[in-house]
């Protein structure tokens, strides 16, 4: 009963705060558009907006480890495991510039989805090959413009919290654009808010672990499939190590 009440209060807070934050985002977009073509200021405001839901939720204490590994002057293909809807909120806590690749349905959410449009985040219609081609072209254009890209190579959330198979798109992209990869490991979100769940599952510590960047020269001659498997193993090893220590 207490979890249901707490969850209802959380979703109400999310709705009301979105009503308050979207006009600020729209104003920020309008004022900064003439001089901030990459939408860096708007993205930083969006990081603040998303972080409200963990800052003010004692059930979700978030720790970010390794933020200093992100060079603000570098452009990365960022890849993270995907356990929960909550992953999107907590990854904003790194407070670094990037463009999300997200399923098209998220862009249709009132206020939050509208803000994603303002940020020029990149849409993907899952299962549609033509949409994948458009998405990859948009990613290449953004990388060329100096915008890092954030992707979930699993493609969708894991229903069990266990790491799913990766798709090769992010790794082909890093090779084609000759940009470094930045692996990120998300711990604890599957327990906090499981896939298809709306009830917050009590107090769970969440860790965002930013691993060492993988420089382009180190995989320039590596097959994208092999690179994909190598990065999946790297993220999987960190997940298993954390689970063993829990």
User: How many whole angstroms separate alpha carbon 171 and alpha carbon 227?
Assistant: 7
CATH of the domain at 125: 3.40.1130
> Which residues, 6+ apart, have CB-to-CB distance to 142 below 8 Å?
99, 120, 122, 149
Q: Check: CB of residue 159 under 8 Å from CB of residue 195.
A: yes
Give the per-residue pLDDT at 200: 64
Burial class (CB in 10 A: 0-12, 13-18, 19+), 204: middle
Q: Sign of the C-alpha dihedral, residues 26, 11, 92, 49?
A: positive
Residue-by-residue pLDDT tens, the chain, 246 positions: 666 776 788 888 899 999 999 999 999 999 999 999 999 999 999 999 999 998 988 888 899 999 999 999 999 999 999 988 889 999 999 999 999 999 999 999 999 999 999 999 999 988 788 898 999 999 999 999 999 999 999 987 666 667 889 999 999 999 999 999 999 999 988 877 766 566 666 667 899 999 999 999 999 999 999 999 999 999 999 998 877 776
Q: What is the DSSP letter of 214?
A: B
**Domain count of the fold of the chain:** 1
> Which pTM was predicted?
0.92
User: How many whole angstroms separate alpha carbon 232 and alpha carbon 163?
Assistant: 8
> Which structural domain, as residue segments, surrounds residue 66?
2-245
User: How many whole angstroms separate alpha carbon 99 and alpha carbon 119?
Assistant: 8
- Six-digit token pair at 245? 């220590």
Give the per-residue pLDDT at 148: 98
């Amino acid at each position: 009963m207490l979890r249901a009440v707490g969850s209802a209060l959380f979703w109400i807070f999310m709705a009301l705060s979105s009503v308050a934050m979207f006009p600020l985002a729209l104003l920020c977009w309008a004022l900064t558009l003439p001089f901030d073509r990459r939408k860096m200021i708007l993205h930083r405001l969006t990081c603040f907006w998303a972080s409200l839901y963990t800052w003010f939720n004692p059930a979700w204490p978030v720790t970010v480890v390794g933020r200093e590994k992100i060079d603000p002057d570098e452009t990365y293909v960022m890849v993270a495991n995907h356990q929960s809807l909550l992953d999107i909120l907590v990854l904003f806590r790194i407070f670094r510039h990037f463009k999300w690749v997200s399923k098209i349905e998220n862009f249709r959410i009132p206020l939050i989805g509208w803000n994603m449009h303002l940020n020029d985040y990149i849409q993907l219609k899952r299962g549609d090959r033509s949409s994948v081609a458009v998405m990859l072209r948009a990613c290449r254009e953004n990388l060329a413009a100096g915008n890092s890209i954030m992707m979930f190579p699993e493609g969708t959330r894991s229903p069990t919290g266990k790491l799913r198979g990766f798709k090769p798109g992010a790794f082909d992209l890093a090779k084609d654009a000759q940009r470094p990869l930045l692996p990120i490991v998300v711990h604890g979100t599957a327990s906090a808010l499981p896939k298809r769940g709306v009830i917050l599952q009590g107090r769970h510590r969440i860790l965002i672990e930013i691993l060492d960047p993988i420089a382009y020269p180190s995989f320039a001659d590596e097959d994208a499939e092999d690179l994909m498997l190598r990065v999946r193993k790297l993220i999987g090893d960190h997940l298993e190590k954390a689970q063993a220590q829990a």
